[in-house]
Chain A
């Protein structure tokens, strides 16, 4: 099958300049050359200049031990302690709904032929903390084109595994399991949206949503469904877990927005993990240049 690739932004344009350098510090001899090559395309660097302190990747041990993954417990440290019970091989993903190729795929078959990209993104939690994570994965848009959604498809829904035997947190009804998240089809097809399979060059650990998770860098972290077992295309807006649990607190869109307050956490600023003082939160988590056009004409205060 021919997989057409849309004209895309090179990875280096999406990874921030600061990150771009840090990740390549080990390439000492090539450092200057890399900076020279990287500089003209730094979309983010412009947005951030003079406003934000530097973005440095959050250490691997922090990214893998400080997680919100209620299927393994509600404390940040619970997922890294409890996620060992999850078996990620073999892994099948059901593709369903308004799509030309509904089927249950083995994960390897689902991702076969899709280019793996590396992206370093800020990750802003709705709880007002943030990280910077070097991801690997595939562009969700590439997969969507491969699956060929029907003309009725307007939304894509992602369901996390439901299996209380493997996911002890599901034994209590903290949330309405299984965890479901969804995007509008144009959001899902945006080149920044990833289905991640790894971080820091290593396969995803269970606590980070192995073997397949959603990563949408301009939205709050809870939009990133983990350990995905079903991808469903639909015509109407799906019910999503946190939105159902507390609609006044968690909207369907969940775009990072310092001007839309949350009843519990101020969204004006955030704490980058490891830092003591807070930094200002940017509209669309600093990715406004790439994604703001998706929402032209939409009142972001109403559609939060």
Chain B
């Protein structure tokens, strides 16, 4: 009973603040680099890659919450999932904004042409749209309003993650070892959903 009592406190006072610090670190690093003019030979590439990679990694961590929760038998860890998902959306938004502003000067015609011409841009854009829908439907009020449909809707997060990995795979020129790592992690996370069934299927949303 002591553990059950202390874990919510641990989540609230240790894990959540740690999550905020970790998730804001890439943004802080980029801002620091911008101020110091120290983002490498191609600063926009550094901005684009760092925000894109942060979105992908945080999204995968978001997907790991439920398997880890079931593995440890600690439902309270679910409280980490929403902030993680929102941080993934935050970096995906920055990623898209940097692309739209610096690569295309916000020209809708240019961006549309690029999406049509390059399927991997389309794939990334679709992943972003899914994350946007999930972010908008993430407040408690929306969870209540959507009821059971909420869970079905939010299963789209797996599609978003798969599209994000595909987006990465597709843009790499030759050496696919890095996207392969993320594809493997995603596959393991998906497989774990099948292995680690919920203990009380009716209670946990």
Tell me the A residues contacting B by CB distance below 8 Å.
Answer: 62, 65-66, 70, 74, 76, 127, 129, 174-175, 245, 261, 263-264, 266, 271, 273-274, 276-278
From residue B122, how far is it (CB to closest CB) to chain A in Å? 12
> Could you tell me if B102 and A277 are in contact, using CB atoms closer than 8 angstroms?
yes
- Please measure, in the bound complex, the distance between the C-alpha atom of A174 and the C-alpha atom of B173, giving whole angstroms: 10
Residue on A nearest B103 in the bound complex, by CB: A278
> Could you tell me if B41 and A65 are in contact, using CB atoms closer than 8 angstroms?
yes
- Please measure, in the bound complex, the distance between the C-alpha atom of A289 and the C-alpha atom of B159, giving whole angstroms: 50
Interface residues on B, range: 10 to 19
Q: List residues of chain B with CB within 8 A of the CB of A74.
A: 173-175
> Could you tell me if B175 and A263 are in contact, using CB atoms closer than 8 angstroms?
no
From residue B39, how far is it (CB to closest CB) to chain A in Å? 10
- Please measure, in the bound complex, the distance between the C-alpha atom of A217 and the C-alpha atom of B170, giving whole angstroms: 28
- Please measure, in the bound complex, the distance between the C-alpha atom of A66 and the C-alpha atom of B42, giving whole angstroms: 9
CB < 8 Å neighbour of B175 from A62, A174, A277: A174
- Please measure, in the bound complex, the distance between the C-alpha atom of A263 and the C-alpha atom of B173, giving whole angstroms: 11
> Could you tell me if A264 and B41 are in contact, using CB atoms closer than 8 angstroms?
no
From residue B137, how far is it (CB to closest CB) to chain A in Å? 34
Tell me the B residues contacting A by CB distance below 8 Å.
Answer: 40-45, 102-103, 105, 113-114, 117-118, 120, 170-171, 173-175
What are 14 A-B residue pairs whose CB atoms fall within 8 Å in the complex?
A66-B41, A74-B175, A129-B45, A174-B175, A264-B120, A266-B114, A271-B103, A273-B41, A273-B42, A274-B42, A276-B43, A276-B44, A277-B105, A278-B102
From residue A244, how far is it (CB to closest CB) to chain B in Å? 12
> Could you tell me if A271 and B42 are in contact, using CB atoms closer than 8 angstroms?
yes
Q: List residues of chain A with CB within 8 A of the CB of B170.
A: 264
> Could you tell me if B44 and A264 are in contact, using CB atoms closer than 8 angstroms?
no
Q: List residues of chain B with CB within 8 A of the CB of A175.
A: 174
> Could you tell me if B117 and A266 are in contact, using CB atoms closer than 8 angstroms?
yes
> Could you tell me if B173 and A127 are in contact, using CB atoms closer than 8 angstroms?
yes
Q: List residues of chain B with CB within 8 A of the CB of A264.
A: 118, 120, 170-171, 173
From residue A133, how far is it (CB to closest CB) to chain B in Å? 13
> Could you tell me if B105 and A263 are in contact, using CB atoms closer than 8 angstroms?
no
- Please measure, in the bound complex, the distance between the C-alpha atom of A59 and the C-alpha atom of B59, giving whole angstroms: 38
The secondary-structure label for the interface of chain A is loop
From residue A203, how far is it (CB to closest CB) to chain B in Å? 21
Q: List residues of chain B with CB within 8 A of the CB of A277.
A: 102, 105
CB < 8 Å neighbour of A245 from B44, B117, B120, B174: B174
- Please measure, in the bound complex, the distance between the C-alpha atom of A127 and the C-alpha atom of B41, giving whole angstroms: 14
From residue B177, how far is it (CB to closest CB) to chain A in Å? 9
Knowing A74-B175, A264-B118 touch, does A62 contact B41 (C-beta < 8 A)?
yes
- Please measure, in the bound complex, the distance between the C-alpha atom of A273 and the C-alpha atom of B41, giving whole angstroms: 6
Q: List residues of chain A with CB within 8 A of the CB of B114.
A: 266
Best-surrounded residue of B113, B173, B174 (most CB of chain A within 10 A): B173
Residue on B nearest A266 in the bound complex, by CB: B114
- Please measure, in the bound complex, the distance between the C-alpha atom of A18 and the C-alpha atom of B173, giving whole angstroms: 33
- Please measure, in the bound complex, the distance between the C-alpha atom of A278 and the C-alpha atom of B44, giving whole angstroms: 10
- Please measure, in the bound complex, the distance between the C-alpha atom of A220 and the C-alpha atom of B41, giving whole angstroms: 19
Residue on B nearest A129 in the bound complex, by CB: B42
Residue on B nearest A59 in the bound complex, by CB: B41
- Please measure, in the bound complex, the distance between the C-alpha atom of A277 and the C-alpha atom of B113, giving whole angstroms: 18
- Please measure, in the bound complex, the distance between the C-alpha atom of A175 and the C-alpha atom of B117, giving whole angstroms: 26
> Could you tell me if B44 and A271 are in contact, using CB atoms closer than 8 angstroms?
yes
- Please measure, in the bound complex, the distance between the C-alpha atom of A262 and the C-alpha atom of B189, giving whole angstroms: 34
CB < 8 Å neighbour of A274 from B41, B102, B105, B173: B41
From residue A228, how far is it (CB to closest CB) to chain B in Å? 21
Residue on A nearest B42 in the bound complex, by CB: A273
Q: List residues of chain B with CB within 8 A of the CB of A66.
A: 40-42
Q: List residues of chain B with CB within 8 A of the CB of A65.
A: 41
- Please measure, in the bound complex, the distance between the C-alpha atom of A144 and the C-alpha atom of B118, giving whole angstroms: 41
Given contacts A66-B40, A66-B41, 8 further A-B contacts (CB under 8 A): A65-B41, A66-B42, A127-B173, A174-B175, A266-B113, A271-B42, A273-B42, A276-B44
CB < 8 Å neighbour of B102 from A127, A129, A276: A276
- Please measure, in the bound complex, the distance between the C-alpha atom of A261 and the C-alpha atom of B113, giving whole angstroms: 11
From residue A161, how far is it (CB to closest CB) to chain B in Å? 20
- Please measure, in the bound complex, the distance between the C-alpha atom of A273 and the C-alpha atom of B39, giving whole angstroms: 11
From residue B7, how far is it (CB to closest CB) to chain A in Å? 42
> Could you tell me if B105 and A261 are in contact, using CB atoms closer than 8 angstroms?
no
- Please measure, in the bound complex, the distance between the C-alpha atom of A181 and the C-alpha atom of B114, giving whole angstroms: 30
Q: List residues of chain B with CB within 8 A of the CB of A278.
A: 102-103
- Please measure, in the bound complex, the distance between the C-alpha atom of A237 and the C-alpha atom of B170, giving whole angstroms: 30
